[in-house]
Amino acid sequence: MCDPLNNDLPTEDLMENLSKFAKRFREFLGDEQFRHFINKLNNPITPINGLYWWQEQAYERFSKEEQEFAGLSMEQIRENLLVCEEHLVPLSTGIVRVYCDNQGSFPPPKTPEAPNANLFEVRPAKSTNTTHTRVYFCQSCRDALDDQGITWGD
């Protein structure tokens, strides 16, 4: 049976693929805090080698309660939380085109409703001669942009 109300929810299968850490951490924080935490991890201005203070505090509280997850490195936390904050499904990796910022104007590679579409990257012209790069992306985000007619990028 097709229930249209459920169309926006991740499928059971995708949710099953979330790491055990991610599932338990989500339960511990609640969806709103969990999404906020993930959003900062997926946001490029997040310090690469560390967590924000409030993120460290959240992880500390969690790992006191769930000792099997205590003592993880920043990299291990990151690896276990490769999740889309909007769709709460695991991120995939793929190769996308790199455009230089002097190559004209671009449609959004992502939107607030599709924060991990990452259809392509735009970099300052002087900084790169790379043509392609590997990114994390969320297929549900890309599908959402597709529905809005935003499909370009190769």
Q: Given candidates 51, 69, 86, 99, which one binds Zn ion under the rule CB under 5 A?
A: 86
Nearer to Zn ion, 51 or 141 (CB): 141
Residue 110 CB contacts under 8 Å (≥ 6 apart), including other chains = 116, 117, 118, 119, 141, 145
Q: In sequence order, what are the beta bridge partners of 99?
A: 122
Rounded-to-integer distance, Cα 114 and Cα 94, Å? 16
Judged by CB under 5 A, does residue 83 bind Zn ion? no
Rounded-to-integer distance, Cα 140 and Cα 1, Å? 22
In the chain, which ranges are E strands?
92-100, 120-123, 132-137
Q: Given candidates 38, 138, 145, 150, which one binds Zn ion under the rule CB under 5 A?
A: 138
Q: Given candidates 141, 142, 145, 150, which one binds Zn ion under the rule CB under 5 A?
A: 141
**Contacting range for Zn ion; rule: CB under 5 A; set: 9-17, 60-68, 101-109, 134-142:** 134-142
Quick one: tokens of 57?
């505090």
Question: Which residues 96-115 are close enough to bind Zn ion by CB under 5 A?
Answer: none
Judged by CB under 5 A, does residue 85 bind Zn ion? no
Q: Which residue has the tokens 């339960």?
A: 27
CB of 127 to Zn ion, least distance (A): 27
- Residue 32 sits at φ, ψ, to 5 deg, of -65, -50
Helix axes 20-29, 53-65, angle to 10 degrees: 100
Judged by CB under 5 A, does residue 87 bind Zn ion? yes
Q: Given candidates 140, 142, 145, 150, which one binds Zn ion under the rule CB under 5 A?
A: 140
Judged by CB under 5 A, does residue 145 bind Zn ion? no
Binding site for Zn ion (CB under 5 A): 84, 86-87, 116, 138, 140-141
